[in-house]
Each structure stands twice: as C-alpha cells, then as structure tokens.
Amino acid sequence: MYSETKIAIPIFQSKKEDILRIANDCIIKGADILELRIDGMENPNPKLVKEIIEEINFPTIATNRTSKEGGSFKGSDEDRVAILRECVDVADFIDIELQTERSLIESITETGAKTIISYHNFNLTPDLDFLIDIVNQEKELGDIAKIAVMPNSLEDTLTVLALLSHFDDTVAISMGELGSYTRVIASKFNAPFTFAVANDSTAPGQIDIDTMKVLLNSDLINTDEFENTE
C-alpha cells in the first residue's frame, strides 16, 4: 500500500538558473511538491519569484523564512510577506510563520490562497500542551498546521508523534538525527507532507528523497510474520 503523504523537497539556491536546474532534478527523482525557499535567493523580488514558480510549472510551496525561525530573509516582515503575496496565484501553498504579525498573515489568507502556518524551534521541544495550543492557533488561521522542533531526548520525539495523533492536516517534525525517523512515521498519521532532500539540506536530520520513497512505501513492521509464528 502506497503512502498518501506527499514528499516535499526544499530548494535553497541563490540564482534562478540553479533553482530551475535543481527543481527539474527533484521532479525527475520523484518529488510530489517543491518548496521554493525564497529567502535563499539573492535579492529576491516579487516579479522574479513569480516568474520562477511559473517556469517550474510543478506543485510548489512558496516559503520566505524569517531569520527568527532559521531563515535567511534580511528585509522587513512587510517586504517578506509582500513577496509571498505576489505568489498566491502561482504557488499551491504559501508557508507563513505563526509569529508573523496577524494583519500580515491575514493579507495572505484573505486572498483565498491555501496556506501552511508554521512554527519552528531549533533549541528544544516544548511540552505537548504548548504544541497543541500552537497547532490550534495555526488551524484557526490557515489550511495546514506545521511545527518543527528540536529534540533533546527520545521522549521529545514521542511528543511530536503524540501531537500528530491529535490532529489531521498537520505536519509535525522532530529535527536532528534523533528525530529523523519522525519524518517517515508521520505518514502513519496521514500527515499531508514530509520533507526530504535532493541536493540542499535546509534542516538537520533530513532524509534523501530516494531513501524516503522506499521507507514511506514499505511496511516497517510485517504483521504477517507475527501471525505465522503461532
């Protein structure tokens, strides 16, 4: 049985020609959706970003990550969101951080664009109640909730799986090597996306696309073996 969780591949390049080249490579390798990391581009402007997404001509998430959450965009929040707003007609999803000023988030959501409302913590994994509150806030604003947090113990990774068991239409990732398995197990909770890499690594613990495809479409536990031992 094939997983319904789509594999998203981030593209984090500075120049248009490199973005288009890697996008084509990702499509050939079997990506389901591409994440254009606008914050990785050199002097991005709305017209250029829209042009790139149109030329890629493949399901795309437009992301312009703030430096406060591990991104590289150096302008104001107003400029950052203005670029995203220009993408609403060409991108399949717009990713915007929950910590963004509410009026700026609403300037995206009121267009009718499909949105991913995201939260990142590169230092730790907050407790489950805190994360449930975060996801509830994200769902009030957008279509898909996303959290990515850093584990300091195996128990932290289980907190992320517990979160997935509470919600539909939620992407929850435990980062780093310790949490890398959650990127695969998320499919068992019908997460809409999981993130893998082709060339660019944009977060610790990411798995390459070839490995991810095999893992998502394999039964990690063969229940027939247990039934036949009786």
The pLDDT score that the predictor gives to residue 53 is 98
**Structural contact between residues 43 and 69, judged by C-beta atoms closer than 8 angstroms:** no
From the list 74, 146, 166, 213, the catalytic residue is 146
Domains in the chain, start-ordered, CATH in brackets? 6-227 (3.20.20.70)
pLDDT of residue 94 exceeding 90, the answer is yes
Which position has the higher pLDDT, 206 or 42? 42
User: Which tens digit of pLDDT belongs to each residue from 179-193?
Assistant: 999 999 999 999 999
Question: Is 166 an active-site residue?
Answer: no
Q: How far apart are CA 92 and CA 34, in angstroms?
A: 10
Q: Please give the model's pTM, rounded to 2 decimal places.
A: 0.89
**If you average pLDDT over residues 110-128, what whole number do you get?**
97
The pLDDT score that the predictor gives to residue 202 is 60
**If you average pLDDT over residues 96-122, what whole number do you get?**
97
Nearest to 122 by CA among 90, 149, 99, 98: 149
List, in sequence order, every beta strand (DSSP E) within the chain.
Answer: 6-11, 33-37, 60-63, 93-97, 115-121, 144-149, 170-174, 193-197, 207-208
- The residue to which tokens 């959706």 are assigned: 33
User: Cα(first)–Cα(last) distance of the chain, in Å?
Assistant: 25
The pLDDT score that the predictor gives to residue 227 is 38
The pLDDT score that the predictor gives to residue 203 is 62
Question: Is 146 an active-site residue?
Answer: yes
The pLDDT score that the predictor gives to residue 93 is 98
From the list 120, 139, 166, 188, the catalytic residue is 120
pLDDT of residue 226 exceeding 80, the answer is no
